[in-house]
Amino acid sequence: MKVTKKDKKKGHIAPIGATEIDISLISEDIHQPRKEFNQETLRELTETIKLRGVKSPISVRPDLDKPGTYIINHGARRYRASIKAGLTKIPAFIDTDYSEADQVIENLQRDDLTSREIADFIGRQLAGGKTKSEVARLIGKTNPYITMHATLLDLPDPLADAYRSGRCTDVTALYDLTRLYKAHKEEVITWLALSTQEEISRLDVYQFSQFLKLKKTLPSNSADDQASYAGGESNSTTTHNNDQKQSVPNSLLDSIYNLIKKDKRKPQDLMHNLSSDHKAFLQTKIKNYFEQGRNCSNIVQFTIKALQDGSFSAKGSGALQLIAFLHGMKRSESFDLMKILNEVAGQQEAG
């Protein structure tokens, strides 16, 4: 399509289709779903454009509020890099039939949007009156996909902190954790405090949810009774009951071990941050293995079986349990939880 002199007088700078446009006439879309740009890859693109120019046109549409200028549909990285490279013009394809949904779809296909950017787009669509089903159809996603991303729009403060810090960026994990938070607020806050430096995965959240489900079914006589039940055995239980399967994930013990070993947290500080229920669980669980070491009649067979079923290992909950068991074998000392935890810290220093 050619541009006539009459068109130019009316302020039409370029025809619809592929052309070259003065960069000063182009601006970014303030509603562009993509907000984060990797500065290193942007620098690399700038150098490439200096050498070879822009090979793939950006997509723009006329700015109806400022006749003769354009808004970027797609290609903000190329636009920014071109400015940095000192270009005054940039190849562009003028597309008047382009929406924010198209921007999202294109970035989704290129895997260029963060979860938060997707959530922000969904939020704007919902605020504009669309239903979740309509938004899902708009960008070719499922209803659960929209629901999970919409969760990011109103995260509770502890979960928002975990997301912003990068500890938990998995949308499914955050969605499940938000549901747990609504039902078990204090437990979730304590759990998050125990794993300050650890990444939180879907599996972590699933295991934690299983622990909470089991805890809900425990006898409510006392925290010690619950902890004893959760540990699988009471303090007086002898070694012949070791065949009982433990159905509670050892995520609490794993977290404590990793915080001491990897993050060099002081055991006394960790104990101070634990809830009373978790202190009771930890006390009972570790003391149970201490007593088993003290009362064990066949140490070799017991140890082999514990290694086979995962009760003992070189790290995590298995390491804590093994250390407690070895302390009990000495028979001359009384149970001291802090002494066992400090030994884990001492191993870190020795290692």
Average pLDDT across the chain, whole number: 75
From 18-22, 42-46, 109-113, 142-146, the region with the lowest mean pLDDT: 109-113
Percent of the chain residues past pLDDT 70, beyond the cut: 74
pLDDT of residue 277: 76
Distance CA 162, CA 169 (A): 8
Please write the tens of the pLDDT for every residue from 161-196.
Answer: 888 888 888 888 899 999 999 988 888 888 787 655
Amino acid symbol at 178: T
Distance CA 343, CA 347 (A): 6
CB burial class (10 A; 0-12, 13-18, 19+) of residue 82?
buried
Residue 85 has pLDDT above 90, yes or no: yes
Residue 17 has pLDDT above 60, yes or no: no
Distance CA 194, CA 267 (A): 11
Question: What residues are paired with 269 via a beta bridge?
Answer: none
DSSP one-letter string for 69-102 = -EEEEE-HHHHHHHHHTT-SEEEEEE-SS--HHH
In eight-state DSSP terms, residue 154 is G
Average pLDDT, integer, range 131-141: 86
The residue count for the chain: 351
pTM above 0.75, yes or no: no
Query: In this structure, how many other beta carbons lie within 10 angstroms of the beta carbon of residue 29?
Result: 18
Question: What residues are paired with 62 via a beta bridge?
Answer: 70
pLDDT of residue 23: 93
Distance CA 119, CA 116 (A): 5
pLDDT of residue 238: 35
pLDDT of residue 309: 77
Tokens 């009760």 label which residue? 311
Distance CA 40, CA 36 (A): 12
Percent of the chain residues past pLDDT 90, beyond the cut: 10
Amino acid symbol at 208: F
pLDDT of residue 29: 83
CB contact set of 239 (below 8 Å; sequence gap of 6+): 292, 295, 296, 297, 302
Average pLDDT, integer, range 239-249: 37
CB contact set of 24 (below 8 Å; sequence gap of 6+): 88
Amino acid symbol at 184: H
Please write the tens of the pLDDT for every residue from 182-238.
Answer: 988 888 888 787 655 567 878 778 777 877 776 665 444 333 333 332 333 333 333
3-class SS at 282? helix
Which residue intervals of 195-336 are DSSP H helices? 202-216, 223-231, 251-261, 267-273, 276-295, 299-309, 316-329
pLDDT of residue 12: 47
Distances (CA, A) of 345 to 130, 155, 323, 325, 333: 55, 35, 12, 17, 20
- The backbone torsions φ and ψ at residue 60, rounded to the nearest 5 degrees and listed phi first, read -135, 165
Distance CA 172, CA 144 (A): 10
Residue 334 has pLDDT above 80, yes or no: yes
From 138-152, 195-209, 301-315, the region with the lowest mean pLDDT: 195-209
Residue 314 token pair: 């070189």
Range with the largest mean pLDDT of 89-98, 241-250, 263-272, 291-300: 291-300
Tokens 């200096």 label which residue? 50
Average pLDDT, integer, range 90-114: 68
CB contact set of 20 (below 8 Å; sequence gap of 6+): 14, 89, 90, 91, 92
pLDDT of residue 347: 54
Number of helices and strands (H, E) in the chain? Answer: 18, 5
CB contact set of 187 (below 8 Å; sequence gap of 6+): 180, 212, 275, 277
Distance CA 66, CA 78 (A): 22
Question: Quick check: 78 and 23 in contact, CB under 8 A?
Answer: no
